[in-house]
Structure 1
Amino acid sequence: MKILLTTDAFAPIVNGVVTSVMTLYTQLKLRGHDVRILALAHEGCSRQEGDVYMIRSFSVNIYPDARATVNYKSRMVSEIIKWGPDIIHSQTEFCSFLFARKIAKKLDIPIIHTYHTLYQDYTSYFTKHENLGKKAVIIFSRRILKTVDTVVVPTNKTKGILEAYHIEPPIEVIPNGIDFTRFKKTLTQEEKNALQGTLNIPRGHKVIVTVGRVGKEKNLDEVMLNMKALIEQRKNISLVIVGNGPYRLELEKMAEQLGIRDSVVFAGMIDQMEIYKYYKLGDIFVSGSTSETQGLTYIEALINEVPIVCRKDDCLKALLKEGYNGYTYETSEEFIHIINDLLDHPDKYNEIKAHTAESVQAYSSEIFGKRIEALYEKVIANKEQGYVEQHDDNHTAIVS
């Protein structure tokens, strides 16, 4: 198949959408398909670099790394139409989606769309009125998604939300896959000690780690408050926050105000090939977020054999097995009890740790690639069947 992936976000930006696009691109290429990507250029002019068509764009002040374009007559689109993809898989709902629709209409080919982001949890970026923002998200999602053939979501949580929006096209649940080879590396004790030293973590401290975009929607305020209560009970513990984002300065101020600044490390953005070290540095991975569609960092933590403790959320239903590879919590008291219980009982901790990596084998990039490939084949077949049925109907009308 000739497959076009479209996305607003692309390298050098690092986020879940970009990771998913690159994972899918790699897997589809390995399966023998001709795959190309249409993306907004992070810098420079419109151009083609190998399999990637980049369209000139500019930054927009909605959230970090957001980009837009007015270059809708780009020659890149003409080049793609000349190439002639069989199907388009869009990954974002904004500028690149408009290109996807234009190309699909011109070639009369199907579009499937992955709904990566729960915008209802991001309304603070464009309005102070939460209820108004959520209504806008519903209307926007309906208008965008009614123009595609199939919607892909990573979890039943997201499917349920879109069904509540009364989305028209069929919805398929296919979890995003992860390239396990990036994490099949060891971190020696010597390397671990060196990294702790670099981050100014005292020797002998237990390390709580969280990884992801540092945005208000990630509920890191709650993690910080829980850590303050935890630090008051046990002094030899540190929190490492890996990632960057618009809420970092607020969290740094909060750490100062709570009197725990010396116990909180803001590691910033880490190269994707090095991030395994930060997972493996952690004794426990934590998250307070309820805005995840899937929670790729939760899976990455488990691949790295780190038990997870996360705020209870529907996205965890298929991933986290209570007391087997981690725990969920709903209150600060539960959070503190779980962390203390794991750290104070090595046998229990080691038993859970032993289950972590094997519990996420179904999330491999290979399985992800196979499932998406099968969906493409089904959607293309349905489109072709529609042509046949339409032709038969027209023929019947002429005969009668």
Structure 2
Amino acid sequence: MRVGLFTDTYFPQVSGVATSIRTLKEELESAGHEVYIFTTTERDVKRYEDPTIIRLPSVPFISFTDRRVVYRGLISAYKIAKAYELDIIHTQTEFSLGILGKLVAKALKIPVVHTYHTQYEDYVGYIAKGKLIKPSMVKYVMRGYLNDLDGVICPSRIVYNILDGYEVKIPKRIIPTGIPVEKYRREDITKEQIAELRQHLGIAPDETMLLSLSRVSYEKNIQAILKCLPKVLAENSKVKLVIVGDGPYLDDLKDQVQQFGIEDAVIFTGMVSHDQVAVYYKACDFFISASTSETQGLTYIEALASGRPIIAQSNPYLDDVVTDRMFGTLYQREEDLADAIIDAIIETPELTADAYEEKLYEISAERFGKSVYAFYLDVLITEENRNSHKLSLTVRKNADKPRVLRLARGAVTMPKQAVSLTGKASKKVVRAPKKMISSIRDFLD
């Protein structure tokens, strides 16, 4: 199968959406499919270094200058998508490249599906200080984008319920984003490394380390953890909170730490290197988040893959993930957070090997990739059935076999071991001729 992913956000931009897209690309490619990402240009990234990543001219977005939007490239994107003979387009944004992906799919007469990543009601305040788009308008904007698509992937029951509330009528399927679990299982990380990090952070062996790891912004609600910490410390003085990350709300949080008088219990690390993230997970006793804006939250399952329980506010997604007390403690209301922390420290049972292995597969990238591919096939089968009703019996008898049969046969006859990938490039990139790269440059220039 040949898939086009259209997204405003991709590496080197760091976000949960970018991570989800890269994970999907890698899993589909490892199964023998071809995946092409249509995304924005980046200042420090060469436009033609990877023929499977097509970067279209873009500018910084108004209110999120670290995010970009495409301002031209429809014709070139169409020509490239046609040259690559895409079978399906999968949009990952409702804005510039999402709209462009819909137009390309319409021109090519191929299906287009979408993943709904963001609960926009929590973010409209960033756009023109909330004066341009009101939360009540989101429903109509999103419904307008989605209702003429062939299907939508919901990363959680939260998203499914949101889209039901928006009265989105197209087929919806819940497919949680998986992660490459071995990157967090990390049996190579030694007890000595963990002890060294805790010592570096100033956390004693008998102290409980709570880890917050996210972009430091208001909607992540780290302030709720700080607010409840004095109550926690009154019950258990051997608790330390480590806040990993950077963002626009960092200085406010540091001020709050001083106001609450909890300087000795809170450690700010700033950003940490990607290869150190797994060590931080392993070093903590609990991963903690008070965010209510997540439609999924990859950090939750990263912590579980690291073998660490979580403390978080209950929602439909986490209710499906935290299926046993050994995986974490969920609280119902923000005012219950302090008690949840105290109870979790006392009552969380040890994680069993069998439960851990079962959870690893449940949250794995492998399962994620297979589930998305199955959804693609269902959409293509529906399209073929719809098109077949438009053909006369004679035409159908003499027509070539439907594309979906070719795709299904390809899945059955696929070699057991996919091509060895270099730098996470697809099979086509590994053997990509210079002519292909030149043709992309010709389209874009």
TM value normalised by structure 1: 0.90
**Correspondence 1:7 to 2:7:** yes
Specify the alignment match of 1:316 in structure 2: 318
Distance verdict in 2 for CA 1:122–1:252, change over 3 Å: same
Specify the alignment match of 2:341 in structure 1: 339
Specify the alignment match of 1:398 in structure 2: none
**Correspondence 1:368 to 2:368:** yes
Distance verdict in 2 for CA 1:241–1:130, change over 3 Å: farther
**Correspondence 1:38 to 2:29:** no
Specify the alignment match of 1:57 in structure 2: 58
Moved more, 353-362 or 57-66: 353-362
Q: Which amino acid aligns with 1:152?
A: I
Structure 1 residue runs of 4 or more that deviate by more than 4 Å after TM superposition: 127-132, 351-357
Specify the alignment match of 1:137 in structure 2: 138
Specify the alignment match of 2:172 in structure 1: 171
Contact 2:185–2:307 (CA under 8 A) maintained in structure 1: no
Superposed CA deviations along residues 302-328 of structure 1, whole A, max 9, x for unmatched, are 111111111122221211125242111
Higher relative contact order (CA 8 A, sep 6+): 2
Q: CA deviation at 1:128?
A: 5.3
Contact 1:322–1:328 (CA under 8 A) maintained in structure 2: no
Distance in 2, Cα, partners of 1:295 & 1:68: 24
Specify the alignment match of 2:114 in structure 1: 113
**Correspondence 1:381 to 2:381:** yes
Distance in 2, Cα, partners of 1:17 & 1:298: 15
Q: For residues 147-226 of structure 1, what are the structure 2 equivalents within 5 Å?
A: 147-186=148-187, 187-201=189-203, 204-226=206-228
Distance in 1, Cα, partners of 2:78 & 2:249: 36
Moved more, 201-210 or 49-58: 201-210
Q: Which amino acid aligns with 1:256?
A: Q
Three-state SS of the structure 2 residue aligned to 1:275 is helix
Three-state SS of the structure 1 residue aligned to 2:275 is coil
Q: CA deviation at 1:51?
A: 1.2
Distance in 1, Cα, partners of 2:3 & 2:40: 18
Distance verdict in 2 for CA 1:246–1:353, change over 3 Å: farther
Three-state SS of the structure 2 residue aligned to 1:37 is strand
Distance verdict in 2 for CA 1:356–1:287, change over 3 Å: farther
Distance in 1, Cα, partners of 2:292 & 2:235: 27
Superposed CA deviations along residues 162-220 of structure 1, whole A, max 9, x for unmatched, are 11111131111111111111112143232123222433445643210122222212221
1:271 corresponds, among 258, 262, 273, to 273
Q: CA deviation at 1:137?
A: 1.1
Distance in 1, Cα, partners of 2:273 & 2:52: 23
Distance in 1, Cα, partners of 2:248 & 2:257: 16
Distance in 2, Cα, partners of 1:254 & 1:357: 40
Q: CA deviation at 1:104?
A: 0.6
Q: CA deviation at 1:46?
A: 4.7
Three-state SS of the structure 2 residue aligned to 1:289 is coil
Superposed CA deviations along residues 341-360 of structure 1, whole A, max 9, x for unmatched, are 34346xx4425898556434
Specify the alignment match of 1:103 in structure 2: 104
Q: CA deviation at 1:333?
A: 6.0
Distance in 1, Cα, partners of 2:380 & 2:315: 35
Moved more, 146-155 or 128-137: 128-137
Moved more, 383-392 or 142-151: 383-392
Contact 1:93–1:144 (CA under 8 A) maintained in structure 2: yes
Superposed CA deviations along residues 249-287 of structure 1, whole A, max 9, x for unmatched, are 221221122222332222233333321111111101111
Structure 1: give runs of 5+ residues left out of the alignment: 396-400
Q: Which amino acid aligns with 1:302?
A: L
Specify the alignment match of 2:20 in structure 1: 20
Distance verdict in 2 for CA 1:261–1:41, change over 3 Å: farther
Q: CA deviation at 1:42?
A: 2.0
Distance verdict in 2 for CA 1:244–1:170, change over 3 Å: same
Distance in 2, Cα, partners of 1:165 & 1:333: 30
Distance verdict in 2 for CA 1:325–1:374, change over 3 Å: same
Q: Which amino acid aligns with 2:296?
A: Q
Specify the alignment match of 1:292 in structure 2: 294
Q: Which amino acid aligns with 1:373?
A: Y
Structure 2: give runs of 5+ residues left out of the alignment: 396-445
Contact 1:182–1:273 (CA under 8 A) maintained in structure 2: no
Moved more, 349-358 or 97-106: 349-358
Superposed CA deviations along residues 196-251 of structure 1, whole A, max 9, x for unmatched, are 24334456432101222222122211111122321233332211122222222221
Three-state SS of the structure 2 residue aligned to 1:42 is coil
TM value normalised by structure 2: 0.81
Distance in 2, Cα, partners of 1:62 & 1:76: 26
Contact 1:113–1:150 (CA under 8 A) maintained in structure 2: yes
Q: For residues 240-279 of structure 1, what are the structure 2 equivalents within 5 Å?
A: 240-279=242-281
Distance in 1, Cα, partners of 2:259 & 2:350: 35
Distance verdict in 2 for CA 1:344–1:380, change over 3 Å: closer
